[in-house]
Chain A
């Protein structure tokens, strides 16, 4: 009966065996487990199995990170730093010294003030509706007068100047030429 009880592996004992096999048991736990393993074959068997597994786990080879991964990270960090540096350079160039920041602020203030002043001095004249209609009517009358003048000029040119004076002289000239050529 007592032998059967000793041979039984209770969960608490198994936990101790595991701790001993993996090397993180207390001194007391190691003593108990090793004593029992020396007397009970089942305990010894379980202990050896767990020790074998623990040794295999601790012997597992670790993977090495490929160097290109680290290089790509370094390149990305450098790129981000350069971008930040450019922005900070501009920022510091403008605002690092009081005189520069004062000059920038003054320029901006002057520009704003100038815009306001310019807008006030340039007055856009405003006309009423009646004035606009009157102006349109006068424009129409003026165009009609000019049109009339051009029409009269055209008529005078066609009927009097070209017909009577220009063509008459041309005919006279042509007759003289005819008489010369035929008569002579």
Chain B
């Protein structure tokens, strides 16, 4: 009974987090669902073995490892098979000066394009970026999840931000043509 309660609590807390991370890593909804299922089953199998307070890091580390194993096994290319979100089409409006280049970039940005740009990040940069910016993990937690030094997390995060900026600027310049 207690195990079931613990499991249900962990599932409710982390299911979307696991799913979103797997979605960005694998870029395929069905694969992300499979990975999410597998993570939940492993959580159940290890429900008595790990510290409840460290469950968050354990769950995300398991998710990350399974995603990496899956990618290496299937040798996925960077073509997106099923779009993550066909319906979202958010425009970010900015009412500042039209001549301002930042405004031009801002106007042309959509939710789907942001997601696409994040997906296209190299794997080593994408992991810390998604965990920090989208899932709200701290540097130390990310270091444990990815099993890399703290400085590596900070460096890769910075590189990811620069890479993303280049991607989106390129997109914006294409839109202006």
Contact = CB atoms under 8 A, between A and B. Distances in A.
Nearest to B155: A15
Main SS of the interface on chain A? Answer: helix
Interface of B is mostly: helix
Interface residues on A, range: 20 to 34
A123 interface: no
Contacts of A65: 15-16, 18-19, 33, 36
Interface in B119-148: 133-134
Interface residues of B, number: 39
A14 B159 CA distance: 11
B101 A45 contact: yes
A49 B134 CA distance: 19
Contact of B133 (A49, A57, A64, A70): A57
A65 to B, nearest CB: 4
Nearest to A58: B133
A59 B112 CA distance: 11
Contacts, number: 93
Interface stretch (B49-57, B60-68, B70-78, B82-90): B82-90
B85 A63 contact: yes
B133 A22 contact: yes
Contacts of B88: 61
Given A18-B158, A70-B15, A45 B92 contact: no
Contacts of B152: none
B164 A73 contact: no
B120 to A, nearest CB: 14
B159 to A, nearest CB: 10
Interface of A: 14-15, 18-19, 22, 45, 48-66, 69-70, 72-73, 76-77
27 contacts: A18-B158, A22-B161, A45-B102, A49-B105, A49-B169, A51-B102, A52-B92, A52-B102, A52-B106, A53-B105, A55-B92, A57-B134, A57-B164, A59-B90, A59-B92, A59-B111, A60-B111, A60-B114, A60-B134, A61-B111, A62-B134, A65-B15, A65-B18, A65-B36, A69-B37, A73-B41, A73-B44
